[in-house]
A and B are shown apart, each in its own frame.
Chain A
Amino acid sequence: VVTLLRKQRIPVLLHRAFSSSARRLRNKVPEAQKLFQEDNGLPVHIKGGTSDVLLYRATMTLTIAGSCYSLYWLLVASMPQRKP
């Protein structure tokens, strides 16, 4: 690379390596594309791995528990209120 730059008479100092500054951020999109295009039959919402499955299970647990809880309150609200 250095020889090429010298041939074009561009000062080498103006072209330092991409991540030589403090912030080292690599483009991870190609890896993500490979992971999510893998032919494993998994639906997109759990195709990312274990954390996907855990988060899904937590969400569905809250969904079912919440539905039951709202049904409980519906029954409570439907009953006549006891006057003190």
Chain B
Amino acid sequence: MAHQAHAYHMVDPSPWPLTGAVAALLLTSGTAIWMHFNSLVLMTLGLVLLLLTMYQWWRDIIREGTFQGHHTPPVQKGLRYGMILFITSEVFFFLGFFWAFYHSSLAPTPELGGCWPPTGITTLDPFEVPLLNTAVLLASGVTVTWAHHSIMEGQRKQAIQSLTLTILLGFYFTFLQAMEYFEAPFTIADGVYGSTFFVATGFHGLHVIIGSTFLAVCLLRQVQFHFTSEHHFGFEAAAWYWHFVDVVWLFLYISIYWWGS
């Protein structure tokens, strides 16, 4: 049996990049077909294929790292770079929506009444549910740090408890935000205020759901003894992502909810 004389990871051939690319094709063309021909089949097929790809691809990464030992220090360094670059790309994604918000709100047009918030818009009170949401996410930042220290100190039960609490706080935020969406006195169709509000907060909410899912997978892995006190990069990546989601909310809260009200 041939052994490698280096510390890097030469991956086995994998079908998931192909299935993922086809999923992207089906999702995009499927959305177009839905809009023009009123058929949801193609898009749904794309969604199913995307979920199957993500599940199997990430399952394989866990196998390669935790079960096969391929995640040596140089490999882990590469994974760290990768996660940081990905989060940076997401920062730029949100920057675009903040640009759109400030473009419209710093110089409100006559059509809006020359003021921000525009005439006729009843904004949400920033010191009610939005403030609670801020507290919830800040608290979850504390609990995820608690979870990290618990893992590093080999405290299995505390790690499980604090990670569970973090996820519950994430669910609580999502629930509160869903309630706010339902009760809001304005909709996405209410001019540029509605557009900037719901697109920016909507994409943020999606990222909260993604982050909560990532943390939930980490919880399952922690329960199954995957993490050691020295090596738990999957958890660290999830924690970085979670802090990023928290920071985006703080910018949203200050810009749209508070200054914009």
Contacts and interface: CB of A to CB of B under 8 A. Distances in A.
Interface of A: 25, 27-29, 32-33, 35-37, 39, 43-45, 47-48, 55-56, 58-60, 62-63, 65-67, 69-70, 73-74, 76-77
Nearest to B41: A69
B12 interface: yes
A69 B33 CA distance: 11
Contacts, number: 99
Interface string B138-166: 00000000000000000000000000000
Interface centre among A29, A35, A65, A70 (most CB of B within 10 A): A70
B79 interface: no
Contacts of B45: 62, 65-66, 69
B225 interface: yes
A62 B224 contact: no
Interface string B57-99: 0001001101111000000000000000000000000000000
B15 A60 contact: yes
Interface stretch (B16-24, B122-130, B173-181, B186-194): B16-24
Given A36-B67, A44-B12, A60 B19 contact: yes
Contacts of A25: 223-224
